Amino acid sequence: MPWPLRAAESGVSVVLEPRAGTANLFGVDGAKTAVWGYGGTVPGPEIRVRQGERLTLEVVNLLEEATSLHPHGIRLPNDQDGAPPLTPGSIAPGERHVQSFVVPDAGTYWYHPHLNSAEQLGRGLLGVLVVEEREPPAVDRDIAWLLDDWRLDKDGQIDGAFGLFHDLSHAGRWGNAVTVNGRADLLLGVKVGERVRLRLVNGANARIFSLLVNGAEGWVMAVDGQPLVRPQALTAEEPVLLGPGMRADLFIDILKPGRVVLQDLSRSDKPIQMAVLSASGGVSGHAGSGMPAPLPPNPVALPKAEPDVRQRFVLTGGAMGGMAGAILDGAYTDMRSLAGHGLFWAINGVVPMTADHGMAPDPLLTVPRGQTAVLELVNDTAWPHPIHLHGHSFVVLSRGGVALPEPELRDTVLLLRGERAEIAFVADNPGDWMFHCHVLEHQVSGMMGFIRVT
């Protein structure tokens, strides 16, 4: 397979075949894991396209169940979003489906199904989608690392028990094997003198990666594809928190021979080595030239100071959350009966899904096109939730009631236990847009509704 796939100037066309395959998560001598993957591989092919170009994705579904393709984070026309039943794009087994759109923003994005998500992503259906800047920044190497977390049995096979009530109602399906680009032992040779752009994507169902880079100087340049106004130096004390669905673009300067290690501290009693850059030789590259200039901003409309619409969303439910019940299909339903439907979460006292796990008919909020909306998100549960909005990038205005010094554009905001945040966006993309927790076990058990832009 051509990997990565390269953009022609006019645009890029990619054929993706979700199907069964095998993966060597532990190297060629390790167990062969049966997976579902695009082209049968994990991750799927890395797609690269240039900002402003058209991307055409043709999906041929070779699975035995329906799937869909959602380009996460891309501000695209609603009917190309691949998030059924809200938007078209449910692809039956054996069927072929085409989505096509122009990519407005440069940055690091990804693609995955939006049907039976916990299982389809948990079995390996996901891949990186890179939108390159029209004038790429001065780096010597540009690589994308898709981080994942697998729940495997003792034979190295995927634990087939998806949707366990414990996972749905607690922190989601955390695994026992983490990989980078489908390998638990990824090692990549680099040259001393290089400035490396490292695009990190958290494709895990539930694990919140807590990342350190040991052995090199570096900066966070962008989050969720959107450039930071001021690059943020990486430190040994402050890990980069990446909830499911989130991305970070790092620049890493390789200044001496040796190993640069990406570490995960999400289980802080036991740091996990995620991947290694092994530096040798020497080139006269861009390393050591000091703090990089910020990446060029994307054409995202910034919210005005006085919002037109203001809405508070209180997230409740889950284990140890104290929720007694919520409205389901228009009627108050106690927690026990909700659990009987495999539903555990509510937003403002209402489960935004139906008892048979479809979408509730009414949007959580309607915003007239062009207006600025501020959402106050309150996590009144005992669990963290990375909350994601489709079709828009939003600004995080405040956390815990404290205003942020600089606007942070993103498409997913991680709310830790008890945390709250205010986000603002210009509703400039008409349609019905999914608004959900990206812990996939929460997404499929009630924490998913939609916002309507008219």
Give the gyration radius of the chain's Cα atoms.
Answer: 21
Closest to 120 (Cα-Cα) out of 85, 155, 81, 162: 162
Using rule CB under 5 A, residue 208 touches Cu ion: no
Residues contributing to the site for ligand C2O (CB under 6 A) = 70, 72, 83, 112, 114, 245, 388, 390, 434, 436, 438
What single string gives the DSSP state of each residue in 424-436? EEE--S-EEEEEE
Dig out the tokens for 442 from the structure. 């929460």
User: What CA–CA distances, in Å, run from 214 to 2, 239, 249, 263, 296?
Assistant: 32, 11, 16, 7, 27
- Binding Cu ion (rule: CB under 5 A), the pick from 50, 385, 390, 420 is 385
Q: How far is the CB of 171 from Cu ion (least distance, A)?
A: 8
Shortest approach of ligand C2O to residue 292 CB, angstroms? Answer: 28
* Residue nearest ligand C2O (C-beta atom): 72
442 touches, from ligand C2O, Cu ion, none (C-beta below 5 to 8 Å by class): Cu ion
Q: Cis ω on the peptide bond leading into residue 104 (within 30° of 0)?
A: no
CB of 112 to ligand C2O, least distance (A): 6
Q: Which does 399 bind (CB under 5 to 8 A by kind): ligand C2O, Cu ion, none?
A: none
Please return the burial class of 234, using the count of CB atoms within 10 Å of its CB with bins 0-12, 13-18 and 19+: buried
- Measured over the CA atoms of residue 433, residue 436, residue 442 and residue 447, the dihedral's sign is negative
Binds 48: which of Cu ion, ligand C2O, none (CB < 5-8 Å by kind): none
Sheet holding 107-112, edge to edge: 47-50, 127-132, 107-112, 70-72
Which one of Cu ion, ligand C2O, none interacts with residue 436, CB within 5 to 8 A by kind?
ligand C2O
- Regarding 130 and contact with Cu ion (CB under 5 A), the answer is no
Cβ–Cβ under 8 Å, residues 202 and 168: no
Nearer to ligand C2O, 191 or 436 (CB): 436
Residues within window 435-454 making contact with Cu ion, judged by CB under 5 A: 437, 439, 442
Q: Which does 437 bind (CB under 5 to 8 A by kind): Cu ion, ligand C2O, none?
A: Cu ion
CB of 244 to ligand C2O, least distance (A): 8
Smallest CA-to-CA distance from 197 within 234, 251, 144 is with 251
Instruction: Kindly state whether residue 388 participates in binding Cu ion, applying the rule CB under 5 A.
Output: no
- Judged by beta carbon distances under 5 to 8 A according to partner kind, the member of Cu ion, ligand C2O, none in contact with residue 434 is ligand C2O
Which residues of the chain form contacts with Cu ion (CB under 5 A)? 385, 437, 439, 442
